[in-house]
Amino acid sequence: MAEFLEDPSVLTKDKLKNELAANNVPLPSGEHKKEVYVQLYLKNLTVLNNKKSPPADTFSSDEELPAPVVSNKSRSGRKATKKTDKPRTEEVEVTDLTDEDLKQQLAKHGVDSGPIVATTRKLYEKKLQKLLDQPPAEPEAPTDVTALPKADSNQNGNTNSDQYSDKEDEEIAAPEPEPVPVVEKPVRSRGKAPVTSRTSSRRQTKVVEEIIVEETPKKASESVVEDILANEISTPTGISATCRRPIRGAAGRPVKPSEYWLDESHVQHTVLTETRSYSESFSRPGSSISSSKAPARRGVLSLLLKLLLLIVVGGSLYYAYQNLDADQINTLKGLVDSVVVPLQGAVENAATYLGISSSSNGATESAGN
Amino acid sequence: MSTTSQKHRDFVGEPMGDKSVTALSGIGEILGKKLEEQGFDKAYVVLGQFLLLKKDTEMFTEWLRDASGANSRQAGSCAQCLREWCDAFL
């Protein structure tokens, strides 16, 4: 089969354009009738066809035949027969590719291709063709974007993990040894030789262990706080999965059993922190009890106040009662006076007259009362 | 594709077994004949092609249109019934 059609008018206008463009034939600017492209095709491509005709002679049958040939090719030598493979493929490049190359090209463009076999190859060729030339600007930028993140994500993942593990190592090794200078040297010397997460975890646990043994928990928490701060400063995002571990482990925060590490030291440590947190939680209820006692005391106080008030009221009442008695007496006395005074005056007059004032006084008083 | 044909339901409802390619939704006698000419005589052969394309509906419809001359509705219907069959039985 010839590479270019003898009668290009069977092709659609778009296909004509594509073929012309693919073969570096300058297209007239703007839109034209199909006839224009057909003429261009005949002039530029069909002429080439005649030059190439000797090798293409062997496939001078119509389109029906190449299909089985393709299936044979996909299994056997591809490159030799590929060039004369399909009459309608726009670019020789795509059809020239081997299965693996085609797959790689597709992968480059972000297409996750399945197996490229006889029945699927044509489709994938088309797809790649579309990706390659249909919108040359658009898909390639996105495909680059899609292709790059893959590599980047890997790199990022690697570098990040390295970074984090490294930094954790150094920062745990650096700030913590300050309080414990004895620990510092072995840790550092170990820390710089192998940089893997495994060793880092080992070192961490060792450091933590030594902290537990040698330091007070306060110091540990302080140094760990320093760690956190250092980590946050050093990591650009401030987000790192690993730097939270020491926080829970060392900073005296309550540690859930699910977050235990397998290391004994850490378990011990967490137990320590747990006991601490327990003590805290116990002390907290105590304080809360005292705070709850405060209202109770207030109740007691109010009771006492009430009692006091009662006593005061009672006392005042009693006092008033007593006073009232005196008053009553006074008033009574007043009454008595008002009633008795004339009588008394008369009696006194009579008594003074008779000379028995005192006795008569008592008599009048008894009478008045 | 919101409504499904009786043919679709029949196909998706049971294992395809040895069904002919025309049992596929969207594939009538004419398209079936064209597919048979190309060696896709059974529904499972078409399923094989569908699976080779990693169940990519878009690619499959494109292939079906090329291979059998189906229109996009027919091809889409066939792809949908194959996909649902896969969801149910694969």
CA distance B50 to chain A (A): 10
Closest CB to B63: pick one of A67, A113, A123.
A123
Q: Please give the radius of gyration of chain A, using alpha carbons only, rounded to the nearest integer.
A: 54
What the block records as the tokens of A315 is 């006392």
Secondary structure letter of residue B53 according to DSSP: T
Q: Which of A123, A126, A128 is best to mutate for the B interface (most B CBs within 10 A)?
A: A123
Q: Is residue A85 within 8 Å of residue A66, measured between CB atoms?
A: yes
pLDDT attached to residue A306: 87
Percentage of residues in chain B with pLDDT exceeding 90? Answer: 92
Tell me whether residues A112 and B52 touch, CB distance under 8 A.
no
Secondary structure letter of residue B72 according to DSSP: H
What global pTM score does this model have?
0.34
Tell me whether residues A126 and B52 touch, CB distance under 8 A.
no
Of the candidates A270, A256, A240, the one whose C-alpha atom is nearest the C-alpha of residue A163 is A240
Helix (H, G, I), strand (E, B) or coil at B44: helix
Tell me whether residues A119 and B63 touch, CB distance under 8 A.
yes
Q: Which chain B residue has the Cα nearest residue A67?
A: B38
Q: Is residue B20 within 8 Å of residue B44, measured between CB atoms?
A: no
pLDDT attached to residue A309: 86
Interface of B with A in 1-30 (CB under 8 A): none
Query: Which pLDDT band holds residue B20 (cuts at 50, 70, 90)?
Result: very high
3-state helix/strand/coil string of chain A = CCCCCCCHHHCCHHHHHHHHHHCCCCCCCCCCCHHHHHHHHHHHHHHHHHHHHHHHHHHCCCCCCHHHHHHHHHHCCCHHHHCCCCCCCCCHHHHHCCHHHHHHHHHHCCCCCCCCCHHHHHHHHHHHHHHHHCCCCCCHHHHHHHHHHHHHHHHHHHHHHHHHHHHHHHHHHCCCCCCCHHHHHHHHHHHHCCCCHHHHHHHHHHHHHHHHHHCCHHHHHHHHHHHHHHHHHHCCCCCCCHHHHHHHHHCCCCCCHHHCCCCHHHHHHHHHHHHHHHHHHHHHHHHHHHHHHHHHHHHHHHHHHHHHHHHHHHHHHHHHHHHHHHHHHHHHHHHHHHHHHHHHHHHHHHHHHHCCHHHHHHHHHHHHC
If phi over 0 gives left and psi between -120 and 50 gives alpha, with beta otherwise, what is residue A86?
A: beta
- Residues in chain B with CB shorter than 8 Å from the CB of A119 are 49, 52, 63
Distance CA A258, CA A202 (A): 20
- A295-330 residues labelled b (16+ CB within 10 A) or e (exposed): eeeeeeeeeeeeeeeeeeeeeeeeeeeeeeeeeeee
Cα angle A73, A77, A79; round to 5: 90
Tell me whether residues A119 and B59 touch, CB distance under 8 A.
no
Q: Give B90 or A255, the one with higher predicted confidence.
A: B90
Distance CA A133, CA A302 (A): 92
Pick from A180-194, B14-28, B30-44, B49-63: least confident = A180-194
Closest CB to A114: pick one of B38, B54, B62.
B54
Q: Which chain B residue has the Cα nearest residue A116?
A: B52
pLDDT attached to residue A239: 56
Distance CA A45, CA A7 (A): 11
Closest CB to A114: pick one of B38, B52, B62.
B52
Of the candidates A47, A1, A54, A2, the one whose C-alpha atom is nearest the C-alpha of residue A20 is A47
Query: Which pLDDT band holds residue B74 (cuts at 50, 70, 90)?
Result: very high
Tell me whether residues A126 and B56 touch, CB distance under 8 A.
no
Please indicate if any CB of chain A lies within 8 Å of the CB of B66: yes
Tell me whether residues A123 and B49 touch, CB distance under 8 A.
no
Q: Is residue A91 within 8 Å of residue A133, measured between CB atoms?
A: yes
Distance CA A213, CA A225 (A): 19
Tell me whether residues A123 and B54 touch, CB distance under 8 A.
no
Predicted-complex ipTM score: 0.84
Domains in chain A, please, with CATH?
8-51 (no CATH), 91-132 (1.10.720.40)
Closest CB to A115: pick one of B52, B56, B66.
B52
Domain residue ranges in chain B: 6-89
pLDDT attached to residue B51: 94
Distance CA A6, CA A54 (A): 15
pLDDT attached to residue B38: 92
Tell me whether residues A127 and B56 touch, CB distance under 8 A.
no
Q: Does domain B6-89 have CATH number 1.25.40.10?
A: no
Per-residue pLDDT 10s for chain A (369 aa) are 446 666 766 777 777 777 777 777 766 666 666 777 777 777 776 666 655 444 444 454 454 444 444 444 344 444 444 444 444 444 457 788 888 888 888 888 888 888 888 888 888 888 888 888 866 554 444 444 444 444 444 445 444 444 454 544 444 444 444 444 444 444 444 444 444 444 444 444 444 444 444 444 444 445 555 555 555 445 555 555 555 555 554 555 555 544 444 444 444 544 444 444 444 444 444 444 444 445 556 667 788 888 888 888 888 888 877 776 666 767 766 766 676 666 777 777 776 777 654 444 444 444 444
Distance CA B31, CA A181 (A): 84
CA distance A156 to chain B (A): 30
pLDDT attached to residue A32: 66
Cα angle B62, B44, A89; round to 5: 30
Helix (H, G, I), strand (E, B) or coil at B20: strand
Helix (H, G, I), strand (E, B) or coil at B6: helix
Q: Beta-carbon neighbour count of residue B7 at 10 Å? A: 17
Distance CA A132, CA A101 (A): 14
Res B88 pLDDT > 50: yes
